[in-house]
Amino acid sequence: MKMNIMLERAQRLDQSDPLSDFRSLFHIPFKDGKSIIYFTGNSLGLAPKTAQTAIQQELNDWAKLGVEGHFHAKNPWYSYHEWFSPALAPLVGALPSEVVAMNQLSVNLHLLLASFYKPTKERYKIICEAKAFPSDLYALQTHVAWHGLNPKDTIIEINSLPNKQILYTDQITDAIKEAGDSLALVMMGGVNYYSGQVLNMSAITKAAHEVGALAGFDLAHAIGNIPLQLHAWQVDFAAWCSYKYLNSGPGSVAGIFIHEKHAKNKELNRLGGWWGHNKDTRFQMEPDFDPIATAEGWQLSNAPVLSMAAHRSSLEVFHAAGIENVFKKGKELARFTKEILTMIKNDFQTNYFDLITPCNDDECGCQVSLLFHQKGKEVFQALTDAGVVVDWREPNVIRLAPVPLYNKFIEVYRFGNIIHQILSA
């Protein structure tokens, strides 16, 4: 009876969904002649149908124009990257001058750390979360070692409390205060990849600044998922990828944010590259690096146009849908998913799983993480066999993310029925 009520709700929500038509703009994978339930937009977003045409346009111009495509292509390659700054800025709450699309996420993290991690004898410590994504931790460890310091003595990893899977804001800000004058940098994931928890980036940044430290964030699981206000929060820097919620293709071009107070500072250390040099004198091939006084000054190489073409096609869909609409539906999908899973959990005497993603709207996005106490891997495989694509994170978590541009509420209902059947068996 309860599931019948949820079915009626799902149908009503889909009927009133202002984004319902946008599903048709994406390729939905099939299995055994049926479209699958694809809930891994938090790992790799689905392909916009316009991406192939966008890439083909650049291939055609390359074939017809060769090197002249830099200035005479339909979308000239020389300035191709400049389209992305105003397009990405609203997604992260930034000025266009604070944002640039470039490189890959881990590459960008290293470039940003080169500028913003400047340890001294007194101020050298870094704070991060204990369950940071491995590449973030590797970047921090290697930069610490690069400066001749011991990562074990330098990096403070904040663990969740016993029997908890999330971090409380007070835990983080208390750790910042305790580190005090020894703290150089706070560097954390804005949304934790494992639990799906959204951190209070504003409070964390404020606490870091109060002790004289800087604050940066990995937004791989945040951009396109939750509203962000990096400029207003006074965040110093951030980096992200574009292949998750931004649906821009495997390994597609990434991006960075640098607050204007830093971006305008040409004296700030950075690793120089030709594409970050003053545009007015770039082709004079001068020996001294003159960085652009915006986030573009952190660019190294000219734009990867083919991957940017896919990125551009996806962002055009995003803006056509309306960013506010995307975020609103994402919250509604996550809320509906948690309601169904809680109902299913309560149907069994055996405690198979717990929801570890916070229920508070301010602390979650689209992702919902289930921590299994038993049979987790078997449930994951059974879901896969049933045509439901979720992902598994060792040692015992299933992550799923119904996303607003191509997922429907009825799919969440069907997923609930399937996992109920699996657990019943």
- Domain boundaries of the chain, sorted by first residue: 2-47+324-424, 55-318
For residues 41-59, average pLDDT: 97
Name the amino acid, one letter, at 169. Answer: T
Tell me what pLDDT residue 191 has.
97
Q: Is the pLDDT reported for residue 1 higher than 70? A: no
Tell me the pTM.
0.95
8-18 pLDDT per residue, tens: 999 999 999 99
Cβ(325)–Cβ(90) below 8 Å:
no
Tell me what pLDDT residue 20 has.
96
Tell me what pLDDT residue 284 has.
85
DSSP element (H, E) containing 310? helix 305-321
Percent of the chain predicted with pLDDT > 90: 88
Q: Is the pLDDT reported for residue 161 higher than 60? A: yes
The more confident residue out of 77 and 285 is: 77
199-218 pLDDT per residue, tens: 999 999 999 999 999 999 99
Which tokens go with 58? 């650049």
Which runs of E-coded beta strand occur in 71-205?
99-101, 125-129, 155-158, 183-189
For residues 22-29, average pLDDT: 97
What is the spatial distance between Cα 177 and Cα 158, in angstroms, rounded to a whole number?
A: 13
Percent of the chain predicted with pLDDT > 70: 100
Nearest to 260 by CA among 75, 400, 94, 21: 94
The more confident residue out of 200 and 4 is: 200
Q: Is the pLDDT reported for residue 403 higher than 60? A: yes
Strand partners, 191: 198
112-121 pLDDT per residue, tens: 999 999 999 9
Which tokens go with 214? 């800087």
Nearest to 380 by CA among 353, 388, 414: 388
Residue 195: what are its φ and ψ, rounded to 5°? Answer: -95, -20
Tell me what pLDDT residue 164 has.
84
Tell me what pLDDT residue 280 has.
87
DSSP element (H, E) containing 255? strand 255-258
Q: Is the pLDDT reported for residue 303 higher than 80? A: yes
Which tokens go with 104? 């890959």
Tell me what pLDDT residue 409 has.
98
29 secondary structure, DSSP code: P
Cβ(19)–Cβ(399) below 8 Å:
no
The Cβ of residue 24 has, within 10 Å, a number of other Cβ atoms equal to: 9
Model confidence band, residue 162 (pLDDT cutoffs 50, 70, 90): confident
For residues 86-94, average pLDDT: 98
Instruction: Tell me which of 318-322, 335-339, 360-364 is least confident.
Output: 360-364
Rounded to 5 degrees, what angle do the CA atoms 339, 169, 260 make? 110
For residues 376-402, average pLDDT: 95
Q: Is the pLDDT reported for residue 85 higher than 60? A: yes
Nearest to 355 by CA among 168, 189, 164, 131: 164
Domain 2-47+324-424 maps to which CATH number in 3.40.50.10790, 3.90.1150.10, 1.10.10.410, 3.30.365.10? Answer: 3.90.1150.10
Domain 55-318 maps to which CATH number in 3.40.50.2300, 3.90.190.20, 3.30.360.10, 3.40.640.10? Answer: 3.40.640.10
71-80 pLDDT per residue, tens: 999 999 999 9
Tell me what pLDDT residue 389 has.
97
97-132 pLDDT per residue, tens: 999 999 999 999 999 999 999 999 999 999 999 988
* Mean pLDDT rounded to a whole number for the chain: 95
Tell me what pLDDT residue 4 has.
77
Q: Is the pLDDT reported for residue 92 higher than 90? A: yes
